[in-house]
Structure 1
Amino acid sequence: MAYTGSYQSQVFGNGGSPYPFGAAELEEAARVKLSPEAFDYIAGAAGRGLTARANAAAFSRYGLTYRVLHQDIPTDPAVTILGTSLALPVLLAPAGVADLAHPEAEAGAARGAAEVGTSLVLSAVTSSPLEDVAAAAPSGHPWFQLAWSRDERLARSLVHRAEKAGYEAIVLMGDCYAAGWRPRELSHAFFPYRHGHGLGNYYSDPRFWALAGHTPSGPGLPDDAAREAAVAVWNQVFTRPSFAPGDLATLKSWTDLPILVKGVCDPSEARCLVEAGADGIVVSNHGGRQLDNGVAALDCLPAVCAAVAGRVPVLFDSGIRTGTDVLIALALGADAVMIGRPWLYGLALGGADGVAHVLRSLKDEFTSALTLTGHHTCATLSLSDLTPAGPQ
């Protein structure tokens, strides 16, 4: 039993870590560190939080098959998704207004991901311009989440900027086109965009300022009057009122980057989107932040994978907290997963270093689980590795 070269060996050698390892402990440490309004914005969910809890609970319905026959072959958790090489099958999910967690914000997240060999999917509502985030981690391979604006020229501008800045894929935000009912945010009357958070991509876009009717006086946050006008316009143009499979042809005409659609839980929608040209599907219910009483995203994954039938990669998001969660999602058919709240908690506790800690912990736990279930790569995982654990 060798720990040599692992994150565990580093922790033992260092006599411990300044960061918690358990998901619950990580969340609690972030709660203590952050202001109540910032924490509740990050941790909150729609309604009573039933969907968010269902997302996490769904993993407990599966048991992993432990195997003892094995070969002396190193386990390699690396995958390649749409040309992007990842040291582990985990990306950082797009999560907005990261400066609520830490001043390093998305740039820190990008650096932390790059340190571990994986990628950030940059939110549309980032604290810093997308160019600055890409430049903060030159060795990273970031993807960009597009909120398809009502204004086509603004949407095209964001796509072209992302392609020029070196982003390797566009993830179309399909799971946040209407405001979810979020009581924890409402209890603080805290709408971060009203205070200038999350608008870095828009504040840095000439087309957006043309819509707002202002010309910024220089880099950085605009003055109060310009910010008020900007927030009002952003509310009007943030997302399109409709989306149909045929719209993908328009988006694909703007860029050569692969296009994934995020928020797909219905297998019939997945089938339509792939037939319309989507290069990838992300199964997600936005971490339970949009619709309460929703079906756990994990319960939607097998049917979506069956509908896609291997024609494009399927990624999974919503509820991943541990390395064994990652393994279960991959055994159910996902090609990779994304984590959201955990990386924001890590960011809150230690900036880029805290994000890297979360990813290194996941990588070690996943690699160990991969080995102990009889695998040396992700490619051989299948339903045979899972046993229904019965009602919980």
Structure 2
Amino acid sequence: MTNIGSGRGRTRQTQVYVRGMGGERPRVPVAPERLQEAARAKLSPADFAYIAGGAGAERTMRANLAAFERVRLIPRRLVGSRERDLSVELLGRTLPTPLLLAPIGVLESAHPEADLAVARAAAAEGVPFIFSSQASVPMEGCAAAMGESPRLFQLYWGTDDEVTRSFVRRAEACGAAAIVLTLDTTLLGWRPRDLDLGHLPFLRGRGIAQYLSDPVFRSRLEIPLPAPAVQPPRTPALIRAGSELAAKGRAFGLSPSQMRAAAARFTATYTRPDLGWDDVSRLRKWTRLPILLKGILHPDDAREAARRGVDGLIVSNHGGRQIDGEIGALDALPAVVAAAGDLPVLFDSGVRTGSDVAKALALGARAVLLGRPYAYGLALAGEAGVREVIQNVLAEFDLTLGLLGVRAARDLGPGNLAPPSLSTQP
């Protein structure tokens, strides 16, 4: 066969089509809508609601997708190349692609291997994985599974500063390349899908593995906490939840009473509504690791972050899970990039396809975080499902570059976008 060029896109396309000749279909749907619906069919209603749901009437989730619809790409002709360079520079290192896996909590809701399967998939595909504070597997286990592959740690700053500092020390010890401080979850958003089902996974011991494995948090379990003002009746559902909680405790060497105390303590301390800019400065003193602030949407916050000595920003609205009616994250991206100066700006929220990655980079993002799609892949086929989602997104991104006439990811810019007057036309 004549060599007409290769690259991730052509390689992935060929793989899928050749296997299709033998009657083999992809385990994970390629189209974003079909991917989500396949995960819905596989998961329990409560688990799907936790992963897929958003805040309030989910206007922000729709705004994220609508923002991508409004941005239009314009290709140039006869300037392409046989292969595209997808690499980007970030935090002093070269990444093979501009894609990272976003931190997602309670991944055991999608698959029993949870974060461990995602860590293996990320390492196999050469994509950095951002470990979540609300992980289902301790960061040390995921780091061991990734070998030398890059990983970052996403930090929720609760009311116990010593637990927060312990998390930072552990992230340093397990080779995290940066601390990603999430700013948009100082309170848990109003999420009707979860509320309608009365389902908060943390009360069942899910998604708190970082805490259950933390020496400082475990030392706090001897401190009694007040009982809830209203005690729920002993229904069969509550008995099952208690059994799940006890089983989770056994996995971490905790008695049923200690596990109940752990779940109660976590629920009482994991958010901090009064988190302030001075805390960012304190974090800067606690670690030499680069610090990225996740959840930036306002240009003034970008400027203040630069003054506080952080190393990068992530434009994000938490995938629409925190405030109903919030600005679409992509709509906020250009102004934050302009205000950030020399700080690298990453992007998160609403990314579903490879062309979405191209649009975010053209608007100034240095790299892009992928969230819900890989969780759906995890639900469908574990580690292999996550790998397929990564492969599909990067394949489309590579082909999009080639069809745009762009030779390298770093070359994407405003010149690849239609003017706003054209982009907003239906």
Report the TM range for the smaller structure's normalisation.
over 0.9
Picking from 364, 368, 387, the partner of 2:395 is 364
The CA deviation string for residues 50-105 of structure 1, in whole angstroms up to 9 with x for no partner, is: 10011011111121111112154520111131134432211111100001000110
Residues of 1 paired with 2:375 and 2:48: CA distance?
Answer: 10
Counterpart of 1:245 in structure 2 is 277
State the TM-score, normalized to the length of structure 2. 0.88
Q: Which amino acid letter does the alignment assign opposite residue 335 of structure 1? A: R
Cα gap change, 1:66 to 1:166, in 2 (>3 Å): same
Q: Does structure 2 retain, via aligned residues, the 8 Å contact 1:149–1:239?
A: yes
Counterpart of 1:336 in structure 2 is 367
Counterpart of 1:207 in structure 2 is 216
Picking from 415, 420, 424, the partner of 1:384 is 415
Counterpart of 1:123 in structure 2 is 132
Residues of 2 paired with 1:68 and 1:52: CA distance?
Answer: 35
The CA deviation string for residues 99-141 of structure 1, in whole angstroms up to 9 with x for no partner, is: 1000110111111111111111111100011101111121421
How far residue 19 of structure 1 moved from its aligned partner, in angstroms, is 1.4
Structure 1 window deviating more from structure 2 (177-186 vs 72-81): it is 72-81
Q: Is 1:290 paired with 2:299?
A: no
Picking from 207, 222, 227, the partner of 2:259 is 227
Q: Which amino acid letter does the alignment assign opposite residue 320 of structure 1? A: V
How far residue 371 of structure 1 moved from its aligned partner, in angstroms, is 1.6
Picking from 312, 316, 321, the partner of 1:280 is 312
Task: Map 1:1-392 onto structure 2 (within 5 A).
Answer: 2=5, 6-15=11-20, 16-213=25-222, 220=252, 222-309=254-341, 311-387=342-418, 388=420, 389-392=423-426
Identity rate, percent? 44
How far residue 9 of structure 1 moved from its aligned partner, in angstroms, is 1.4
Structure 1 window deviating more from structure 2 (285-294 vs 220-229): it is 220-229
Q: Which amino acid letter does the alignment assign opposite residue 131 of structure 1? A: E
- SS of the residue corresponding to residue 27 of structure 1 reads helix
How far residue 22 of structure 1 moved from its aligned partner, in angstroms, is 0.5
- SS of the residue corresponding to residue 118 of structure 2 reads helix
Q: Does structure 1 retain, via aligned residues, the 8 Å contact 2:159–2:272?
A: yes
How far residue 198 of structure 1 moved from its aligned partner, in angstroms, is 0.5
Structure 1 window deviating more from structure 2 (138-147 vs 230-239): it is 230-239
Residues of 2 paired with 1:13 and 1:373: CA distance?
Answer: 26
Structure 1 window deviating more from structure 2 (363-372 vs 242-251): it is 242-251
The CA deviation string for residues 283-337 of structure 1, in whole angstroms up to 9 with x for no partner, is: 000000000011101100000000002x111000000001111111010010011
- SS of the residue corresponding to residue 160 of structure 1 reads helix
How far residue 346 of structure 1 moved from its aligned partner, in angstroms, is 0.5
Residues of 2 paired with 1:146 and 1:197: CA distance?
Answer: 17
How far residue 218 of structure 1 moved from its aligned partner, in angstroms, is 7.0
State the TM-score, normalized to the length of structure 1. 0.96
Instruction: For structure 1, list consecutive stretches of 5 or more residues without a partner in the other structure.
Output: none
How far residue 247 of structure 1 moved from its aligned partner, in angstroms, is 2.3
Residues of 2 paired with 1:277 and 1:331: CA distance?
Answer: 26
Residues of 2 paired with 1:217 and 1:266: CA distance?
Answer: 41
- SS of the residue corresponding to residue 64 of structure 1 reads coil
Structure 1 window deviating more from structure 2 (361-370 vs 135-144): it is 135-144
Residues of 2 paired with 1:71 and 1:158: CA distance?
Answer: 46
How far residue 217 of structure 1 moved from its aligned partner, in angstroms, is 8.7
How far residue 231 of structure 1 moved from its aligned partner, in angstroms, is 1.4
Structure 1 window deviating more from structure 2 (371-380 vs 277-286): it is 371-380
How far residue 235 of structure 1 moved from its aligned partner, in angstroms, is 1.9
Q: Does structure 1 retain, via aligned residues, the 8 Å contact 2:202–2:267?
A: no
Q: Does structure 1 retain, via aligned residues, the 8 Å contact 2:100–2:368?
A: yes
Paired residue total: 391
Cα gap change, 1:72 to 1:183, in 2 (>3 Å): closer
Q: Does structure 1 retain, via aligned residues, the 8 Å contact 2:362–2:414?
A: yes
Cα gap change, 1:164 to 1:218, in 2 (>3 Å): farther
> Which has the higher Rg, Structure 1 or Structure 2?
2
Counterpart of 2:241 in structure 1 is none
Q: Does structure 2 retain, via aligned residues, the 8 Å contact 1:3–1:9?
A: no
How far residue 209 of structure 1 moved from its aligned partner, in angstroms, is 1.5
Q: Does structure 2 retain, via aligned residues, the 8 Å contact 1:196–1:221?
A: no
How far residue 378 of structure 1 moved from its aligned partner, in angstroms, is 1.5
CA-based RMSD: 1.8
Q: Which amino acid letter does the alignment assign opposite residue 249 of structure 1? A: S
Q: Does structure 2 retain, via aligned residues, the 8 Å contact 1:87–1:116?
A: no
Q: Does structure 1 retain, via aligned residues, the 8 Å contact 2:80–2:406?
A: no
Q: Which amino acid letter does the alignment assign opposite residue 128 of structure 2? A: S
- SS of the residue corresponding to residue 313 of structure 2 reads strand
Cα gap change, 1:256 to 1:385, in 2 (>3 Å): same
How far residue 179 of structure 1 moved from its aligned partner, in angstroms, is 1.5
How far residue 232 of structure 1 moved from its aligned partner, in angstroms, is 1.5
Structure 1 window deviating more from structure 2 (142-151 vs 84-93): it is 84-93
How far residue 372 of structure 1 moved from its aligned partner, in angstroms, is 1.5
- SS of the residue corresponding to residue 384 of structure 1 reads helix
Residues of 2 paired with 1:6 and 1:87: CA distance?
Answer: 16
